[in-house]
Amino acid sequence: MARMAGTAARAETLLGLGVVSTTPVAGGDICTSTRLRLTDGRGAIIKTRPHAPAGFFEREAEGLRWLAEAGGARTPQVLAVADDCLVLDWVEPGKPTTDLAERFGRSLAATHRAGAETFGGPRDGYIGMAPLPNRTLPSWPEFFASRRVMPYVRAAVDRGSLTIDEAATIESAMRRIHDLAGPAEPPARIHGDLWSGNLVWGADGDVWVIDPAAHGGHRETDLAMLSLFGAPHLQRILDAYDEAAPLADGWHERLALHQLHPLLVHSVLFGGTYGARAASAAKDLLAGRTA
């Protein structure tokens, strides 16, 4: 009770409104999430983490606002942000449906079409608790190899979740990145961590995206992340996206390339078999190009 009272007091200070009630929200192992009912009748959610890394919640808030500016996929409104917490509008969850999936596929395409100035972003960010280098580069293949793959290869080797031989296989794929990347596309405005846990199927008839690692990237990256861990009505999402913004030939075969990054991030954060899966994907990519 003391912790919840402290959370309510923190929200009241940031919002300038009273908190009528608090309810713990299940899920997530990075932050503690608490639903708030405010005196003006609105619902909100506050995410807290003591001793959060510098800029952790600020980068999330910036990403949500930037994605919202696209007018595509919905994001909760940022109500307040501080070093130790983030307060957002509450989104009432509903049930996944094929109609919602189709709407989301089209909305995601609109977000991507809004574009970005370059590949990367103005500041480094986070994906989960892992640092996310965003220093810009002029092409996506350069950006992907230098900012998304190789830093995590080195970190995974240091952690012991990737062997030297597995790292060498991934490095070989990165040396072929210009061949593997497919047709050049302009920078897309992407979520950057779009697995199913970061989708809220709203009771209001929209699918909302949360917890972004937003940056200027390749639009196939978001689709690859959805495909890697699965999502309700995934095929309808992909079909609707492709109808709204046709994808370049061979995009489905390139999903494995884009999945190297999340697999390596997971190998750094969680260990297990993720490093081996990344190396296996890289080996398959190389084999496909040399067959």
Phi–psi pair at 30, nearest 5 degrees: -100, -45
Rounded Cα gap, residues 255 and 223, in angstroms: 8
Residue 165 is a catalytic residue: no
Amino acid present at 36:
L
CATH number at residue 57: 3.30.200.20
Residue 261: the pLDDT is 98
Residue 1: the pLDDT is 42
pLDDT for 230-275, tens place per residue? Answer: 999 999 999 999 999 999 999 999 999 999 999 999 999 999 999 9
List the beta strands (DSSP E) in the chain.
19-25, 32-38, 43-48, 78-82, 85-89, 125-127, 130-132, 188-190, 199-201, 207-209, 215-217
Burial class of residue 134 in the structure, from the number of CB atoms within 10 Å of its CB (0-12 exposed, 13-18 middle, 19+ buried): buried
Rounded Cα gap, residues 152 and 264, in angstroms: 6
DSSP 8-state symbol, 149: I
83 and 124 in a common domain:
no
Examine the fold and report which residue of 38, 64, 89 is the final residue of a domain before the chain moves on: 89
DSSP 8-state symbol, 77: P
Residue 288: the pLDDT is 85
**pLDDT level of residue 121 (50, 70, 90 thresholds):** very high
Region 82-90: mean pLDDT is 97
Rounded Cα gap, residues 32 and 24, in angstroms: 8
209 and 105 in a common domain:
yes
Share of the chain above pLDDT 70, in %: 97
Instruction: Give yes or no for residue 2 having a pLDDT over 70.
Output: no
Residue 205: the pLDDT is 94
Region 67-86: mean pLDDT is 98
179 and 116 in a common domain:
yes
234 and 122 in a common domain:
yes
Domain enclosing residue 202, as ranges: 98-290
104 and 62 in a common domain:
no
261 and 199 in a common domain:
yes
168 and 26 in a common domain:
no
Residue 291: the pLDDT is 35
Residue 155: the pLDDT is 97
Residue 130: the pLDDT is 95
Q: CA 289 → CA 3, 9, 15, 116, 284, distances in Å?
A: 55, 58, 55, 30, 9
pLDDT for 145-193, tens place per residue? Answer: 999 999 999 999 999 999 999 999 999 999 999 999 999 999 999 999 9
User: Catalytic pick from 99, 179, 193, 249?
Assistant: 193
Rounded Cα gap, residues 177 and 182, in angstroms: 9
116 and 58 in a common domain:
no
List the beta strands (DSSP E) in 28-84.
32-38, 43-48, 78-82
Q: What is the dihedral of CA 67, 71, 76, 78, to 10 degrees?
A: 70
Among 249, 241, 257, CA closest to 140: 257
175 and 39 in a common domain:
no
259 and 183 in a common domain:
yes
Greater confidence (27 vs 228) lies with 228
181 and 152 in a common domain:
yes
Two tokens at 188? 């897309």
**pLDDT level of residue 4 (50, 70, 90 thresholds):** low
The number of distinct structural domains making up the chain is 2
Examine the fold and report which residue of 89, 106, 121 is the final residue of a domain before the chain moves on: 89
137 and 48 in a common domain:
no
Residue 26: the pLDDT is 84
CATH number at residue 215: 3.90.1200.10
Examine the fold and report which residue of 72, 89, 106 is the final residue of a domain before the chain moves on: 89
